[in-house]
Amino acid sequence: MRKLILAFSLTLSVTMIIHLLGTEKRKSAQPPKPDITYTINNTPTILKTERIGINLGQTTSYGTSQFLNNLLQNPGLEGQIDRILVIVSQANQDSFSDEAGWGYPNGEWNEAEFQIRTGQSAGKRGRIKRSVNSGDNGFPQYFSYSPLPYIEPNDLIVLTRVKRPDPLDLWETHFSKTAEIDPAISRPQSAGSQSLKLVPTSTLRAEITYVADAIAERAGKGLQIEGKWRFRVWAKGEKPNGELTVVFTRQNSASPFFKSTLELTTEWQEYVIDFTGHDSGPPKPLTLTLTAYQPFNTVWLDDLYLGKLDQEDVPFRKEIVNAINELSPSFIREFPSLGDSWENRVASPQKRKTWLKRLAGGRNEAIYSYSLPELIFLCKEVKANPWIIVPPTLSNYECQQMGYFLQEYASDFSEVILEFGHENWNWLFRPTAIPYYREHGILANHLFGLISKAAGKKVNLIKLVNGQYSVPGESIQFLNMAQTADGLAVTPSLLPSLDRAIPDKQALQLLYRQNFSQLHEIAREVYAVDKELALYEANFNTVLGDARGYERNRLISGAAAGSALGKHLIHFLFTGARPIMVYNLAQYDTTTWEVEDFVYLWGIVRDFGPPIRFRPTGLAVKLLNQVIQGSMYRLEPVENHSNFSQGITIAAFRGSNSWSLAAVSESDQPRTIKVDFPQDGKTIPTITNSLQFQSPFDNNEKSEAVTIETLDAIIKGQSVIFTLPAYGMVVIGSNNAL
């Protein structure tokens, strides 16, 4: 009995101690003493804010930029659109010339169509009989079949041709003359105009291969071949009992996802292979190979598909749509299809051709783009407005068709942005750009007018021209000469250069401390003429300098880069720019310019998964878009806390129902912040979301070391108290904030 009493006494004592300890713990959870107290200005700085938008970027066959549900680009095995702009330097009755240095190999533009776009003879058409790289006075020269109308220097002329490249764009052929385009044959009811024929010989098999996930060894698996998939192809043989062997595999030691030999007839048939993917083994490229082995028995192929079985009827992979939904962008800006035609921009996947992206120095790349209807589908799916590029190479008729197309979606979007070309000021894009203010303005005004008239008044068009951020005076000239434009789009270059062996603390300071005096100069000039300012490609751009790849990457892909981008985006919002577009959704890396290396730019999504893994810059966009709403206010520290506010960027947003807040620190010390909200009937924010990491150099490249943590905010009357971590980013909102 004595032992029982002692045991009871001991248990009671322990219970009391635990209770007392628990009481002490709750006391320590009381609101901490703030380092800084802020009050919100009475008057908003910006009356109407817009969530951050994204550049969708180019869909490719590698890395994270493999957007489309059909993994096969150019699935209809179609031809190529090729267009350039000639800026006339001299002309006579028989020929016209471009400016010096912008020529192409002799004969490259033979049989191309041309249309005069500006000047006294605007609208006149013809065909090129002969083109030479260096003609009269050493200028590139184009000779017409028929006598030319009056043309004067600086008139703009567009050349267009449709080609049938050999080998086929974006597919690999292994033996010359065993895989050829057949322009006379296509499968029944095909939207396209040609097919591909495989012609095996007695010594050579006939084979084509499509390569996907091409940089998997460097970037990891950008595509996971898991679950139920489907392959489809239309095919026929020249003779009975033909065969076509199809293999889909990852180039590692694992077994193929499928290997099948199709028995062909002499009539077109669609062959379907359903399979279940198990994507084991190390990351290597994916290959789809179609082979005909039987000598002298030609096989024709047309309209292929390879994708998820349950996503066959939607253009974009579900993982892409899910990631964009999480980012909640205001606008989605398309990849600039500068050398494309209108017919191709709205063509179905099987009909769609590639187009040739031409750059200075004779560089070119065949591009297979998502279509405008597919972009519209995506925008509607994620509740974002479209930002559409108007190629300067479009004809009057094509611009009218664009307007009629937009009219169909008048009720779907609150605004549609039209941007005339892409970086017309940038001589890199000179083959399809207009770097002269006057000529640029003439054609921009004309094309904007055609599109606006055809679209009608129900479509809320915002018409923009672009300018060079680093040369404010020239940017304003582009705007002033395009009187029908509603505004100017520029983009600041964040941390363009990094030198090697910079100490960590100094490198971190470079992330946060940028000089935006040129942006403010442009903003003053734009607003002075009652126009709008937009930022079209905001992100770090660290391709210059002699820093090695790992030095750039630990900084640019680190947690601090996320909060630093958040700081700059808040600053851009305070300039009144709208929308602000981050560049871009997905891109694993790019090459550096002064040393031979790679840097993790510019994608804000590291892996679409599932599960989705955002880079810290993507997490920053996600955080900001949770709280951007209504009007935007500056905050002021109370006088005795002004020293602690150094290195803090903070903004408040007042929506129709509630307040929200965003804050970034570039300090290496955490700060406890108190914000006093006015008693104006609006709900004060109660939910805190913050970037969580151990080191400012933590990243999400291999695993998720940088995350978002959600907590209830500490509320004291009309005040919110929170801790802003070193190099951290915090946003505070409420359930009814947006």
Using the predicted structure, report yes or no on whether residue 13 has a pLDDT greater than 80. Answer: no
Q: Indicate the pairing of strand 385-390 with strand 416-420.
A: parallel
What secondary structure letter does DSSP report for 341?
-
What does the pLDDT look like over 575-617, one tens digit per residue?
999 999 999 999 999 999 999 999 999 999 999 999 999 999 9
CA dihedral 89, 92, 95, 100 (to 10 degrees): -20
CATH 3.10.180.10 fits 53-69+315-628, yes or no: no
**pLDDT, position 698:** 99
Task: Render pLDDT for 543-573 as a digit per residue (tens, 0 to 9).
Answer: 999 999 999 999 999 999 999 999 999 999 9
pLDDT of residue 253: 81
- 403-428: per-residue pLDDT in tens? 999 999 999 999 999 999 999 999 99
Instruction: Answer whether residue 3 shows pLDDT above 70.
Output: no
Sign, CA dihedral 87-91-95-99, equals: negative
Which residues 6+ apart lie within 8 Å of 60 measured at CB?
A: 66
pLDDT in tens, 720-734: 999 999 999 999 998
Percent share of the chain, pLDDT over 70: 95
Higher pLDDT, 311 or 233: 233
Residue 495 has pLDDT above 80, yes or no: yes
What is the rounded average pLDDT of the residues 237-249?
97
Q: How confident is the model at residue 9 (pLDDT cuts 50, 70, 90)?
A: very low
Name which residue leads in pLDDT, 7 or 503: 503
∠ CA 691-668-620, rounded to 5°:
25
Q: What is the pLDDT of residues 175-223, one digit of tens each?
A: 888 999 999 999 999 999 999 999 999 999 999 999 999 999 999 999 9
Using the Cα atoms of residue 553, residue 555, residue 556 and residue 562 in order, give the sign of their dihedral. Answer: positive
pTM over 0.85: yes
Class of domain 80-162: mainly beta
CATH number of 36-45+632-733: 2.60.40.1180
- pLDDT tens-digit map of 673-687: 999 999 999 999 999
Average pLDDT over residues 106-126: 98
User: What pLDDT does 33 receive?
Assistant: 87
For residue 428, what are its two tokens?
């890199």
Mean pLDDT of all residues in 268-280: 97
CA gap 713, 685 in Å, rounded? 8
Amino acid 642: pLDDT: 59
Question: What's the confidence (pLDDT) of residue 4?
Answer: 34
User: Are 140 and 179 contacting, i.e. CB atoms less than 8 angstroms apart?
Assistant: no
Residue 353 has pLDDT above 60, yes or no: yes
pLDDT at 644: 66
**Contact between residue 77 and residue 194 where contact means Cβ atoms under 8 Å apart:** yes
* Cα distance between residue 260 and residue 235, in whole Å: 14
Residue ranges per structural domain of the chain: 36-45+632-733, 53-69+315-628, 80-162, 171-308
Residue 17 pLDDT class (50, 70, 90 cuts) = very low
Query: From 2.30.30.30, 3.40.30.10, 3.40.50.10490, 2.60.120.260, which CATH number describes the 171-308 domain?
Result: 2.60.120.260
C-alpha 178/C-alpha 168 separation (Å) is 12
Structure tokens at 179: 């895989």
- Identify whether the C-beta of residue 145 lies closer than 8 Å to the C-beta of residue 129: yes
pLDDT, residue 19, reads 38
How distant is the alpha carbon of residue 27 from its chain centre? 49
Omega before residue 285 within 30° of 0, cis: no
pLDDT of residue 261: 98
Region of 93 please: left (phi>0), alpha (psi -120 to 50) or beta. alpha
